[in-house]
Amino acid sequence: MKLDFTNVNLDKIDSYENKALDAFDTLMNKSGEGNDFLGWIERPVDYDKEEFDRIKKAAKKINENSDVLVSIGIGGSYLGIKAVDVACDSYFNSKRKVKLIYAGNQISGQYLSELLDYLKDKDYSLNVISKSGTTTEPAIAFRFLKEALEEKYGKEEAKERIFATTDRQKGALKDLADAESYETFVVPDDIGGRFSVISAVGLLPLAAAGLDIDKFMEGFKEGMDEYTQKSFDNPAIKYAAVRNMLAEDGKDIEVLVNYEAKLKYIAEWWKQLYAESEGKDGKGIFPVSVNNTTDLHSVGQMIQEGKRNLFETVIEIDNQESDLTIKEDKDNLDGLNYLAGKTMSFVNKQAMEGTTIAHVKGNVPNIRIIMDKVDEKEIAKLFYFFEIGVGVSGYMLGVNPFNQPGVEEYKAQMFKLLGKPGY
């Protein structure tokens, strides 16, 4: 994976070097705010090998008795899983034995009703992911799905099809899992939700879907080896510094851009990571995303000629798994014969290059992240890059990158309206 800052004016970047390296020291020395949530840094090498083996065994069991695994979670218990799941699957011809379906990531009665109807003629299992067990969205979904599972299979067999990923020792879900003898996996105390895909939170559903979690962990290890080096040439540190430089120059919105639809949920995961980590104390670089070339025909106008308070980070994929070559047509009614002999990936890349030229000309700086390909290993390395980057960037901004106090406010107001005791 490479970073390209060609389309960013770096004349002032040297003045950010010491601040970025100091923030990196704060992160790696665990001396800053939120330092009790930094278990993800060493996790690629310091993880529970016994639990890792149990995850593989549970995944094998799910593959033997289920067509579907319903992953029940929200935020960090959902986005990282779906990002890897979607990016590594076929658009239309999935060869996976077990299909991952998601629940508990919103409060739509129609969605859950249709899911329950869909599951009636499927063999399925549940993986409920919640540290407390009382988070509203997954708790509601689990209540309905657990009842349906028990009606379908009976209480005893249902127990064998429910896997709880929760706190090691306490909480409503842990108590229920112990009482019902569900197999349990751990949401680590020292890893926040948006960083937790490297734990059982992500590993169990991904393994059940047939993804290679050994390769996934290998990618995190490669990321750890590369992005924990103290140097201003470290791409993660340089990325954090450039973001802060641009923000101080009035570019306080970052647009993550992809030209491959499979990466859509990578962007959704990234938005949570950066929004929850940086958006506090009246500070933060606002993260948004676009899927091109689709969105060039919608918000592209705003990016090109709207308010000049944004910059773009473009993810480029060097090698596609499959491609098509455009053929010549004798009538040429669509006027495309000038593209004859060219591949669609070549055309897509020229669209990306042309868009970059146009946007830079329109005063939108462009950072380029270049990935060799999309697989478990490369995605994990990208995740680790963004995680180190957000830790450094958050400390540079002067915030605690590892809490999210603002998330609690909407909950308090919602619970008050719903009449929850104590509110």
Report the distance separating Cα 275 and Cα 285, nearest Å.
8
Phi, psi dihedrals of residue 230, rounded to the nearest 5°: -80, 100
Report the distance separating Cα 116 and Cα 72, nearest Å.
13
Radius of gyration of the chain (CA): 23
Q: Which residues are catalytic?
A: 276, 411
- Tokens matching residue 329: 């047509």
Phi, psi dihedrals of residue 413, rounded to the nearest 5°: -70, -40
- Tokens matching residue 142: 């689990």
Query: Residue holding tokens 């709880």?
Result: 164
Q: Name the maximum alpha-carbon separation found in the chain.
A: 74
Report the distance separating Cα 70 and Cα 386, nearest Å.
28
With a CB cutoff of 8 Å and minimum separation 6, the contacts of 372 are: 1, 317, 318, 319, 378
Sheet holding 183-186, edge to edge: 99-103, 68-72, 124-129, 162-166, 183-186
Report the distance separating Cα 417 and Cα 423, nearest Å.
9
For residue 59, the Cα-to-chain-centroid distance in whole angstroms is: 21
DSSP letter for each residue of 321-361: S---BPPP-SS-TTS-GGGTT-BHHHHHHHHHHHHHHHHHH
- Tokens matching residue 29: 């020395």
Report the distance separating Cα 22 and Cα 154, nearest Å.
58
For residue 256, the Cα-to-chain-centroid distance in whole angstroms is: 13
Report the distance separating Cα 247 and Cα 87, nearest Å.
30
Count how many Cα atoms sit within 13 Å of the Cα of residue 397 in the half-sphere of its side chain.
Answer: 29
